[in-house]
Amino acid sequence: MKNNTMISSDLLKELQTTYKHFPKRTNTLKNETQFDSGLKELTTSYGRDFSLKPGEILFEQGDAADGLYWIKEGILVVLDGDLKKPRLLTFRKAGHIVGEIALLEETQRTASVVAITEVQLKYLDKEKFQGLLSLIPNFGLELMRVLSARLREIKPAEYSSGMYDHLTSALSRQAFDIRLVEEIERAQLYRYNFSIVFIDLDNFKEINDSYGHGCGDEVLIAFAKRIMSGLRTTDLLFRYGGDEFVLILQGIDETRGAVLVQKLLDDMKVTPIIEDPPITLAFSAGMSYYPTDGELPNKLLETADQRVYHAKKQGRGQVVANKPDAN
pLDDT tens-digit series, residues 248-278: 998 888 888 889 999 999 999 999 999 988 9
Give the chain's mean pLDDT.
Answer: 82
Q: pLDDT band at residue 36, thresholds of 50, 70 and 90?
A: low
Task: Characterize 211-237 residue by residue with b for buried, 16 or more Cβ atoms within 10 angstroms of its Cβ, and e for exposed.
Answer: eeeebbebbbbbbbbbbbebbbbbbbb
Q: What is the CATH number of domain 173-326?
A: 3.30.70.270
Compute the distance between CA of residue 210 and CA of residue 321 in angstroms, rounded to an integer.
32
pLDDT at 141: 55
Compute the distance between CA of residue 113 and CA of residue 156 in angstroms, rounded to an integer.
14
Flag whether the pTM goes above 0.85: no
pLDDT at 163: 79
Q: What is the CATH number of domain 9-151?
A: 2.60.120.10
Report the candidate in 201, 49, 233 with the shortest Cα–Cα distance to residue 124.
49
Domain borders along the chain are 9-151, 173-326
